[in-house]
Structure 1
């Protein structure tokens, strides 16, 4: 469903939802599945940790306010970056006729952010 005032929201066509960064929400938003987290930082090969500190208040006048709580989010990496040619790798070699010649990492080597190079 579109928000009442969509001008301050961004429509995410891929997920077919409206997005907006918020600093306040209701428990109803969580219960109704309207509160999301989306990591927007750069690709990282390791798990990274994000967090936010929050307080909860009720509808009393004046509101009763909880103490600070910390919500921790672990962002797991997605292996979606293809291997790349390692810098300085020539992708060529010269061999003598009929002589067994080993490939070396100087002539054939790739690297990958999400994998050990030896496992490529």
Structure 2
């Protein structure tokens, strides 16, 4: 799938706000690679192909989501979140490329003015 990183994101928010903006549920599943060995090689949204970029993106955490493809595409388009579809589990997996910080202290960019929030914000809607 295509990445929507070409959209200009002028507003700052937090990763916590980005992941909660459309509701839904997340379950940490860092051993997903033992269940679905093809996860990062199939249907992805926002994940740059290592062959297309100088550096491959390192994924630190995996979260099973309750979001469908439309929500995953929306969250990628407006917040730059990355996803992969697990054929084995039949659901979208959030790919987190940072670690060691609370999501409310990780800055994210968005093109949605109503989603802007200072660092420390957990949820706005």
TM over 0.5: no
TM bucket (normalised to shorter chain) is: under 0.3
* RCO comparison, higher one (Cα < 8 Å, 6+): 2
- Using structure 2 for the length normalisation, give the TM-score: 0.22
Greater fraction helix: 2
- Using structure 1 for the length normalisation, give the TM-score: 0.23
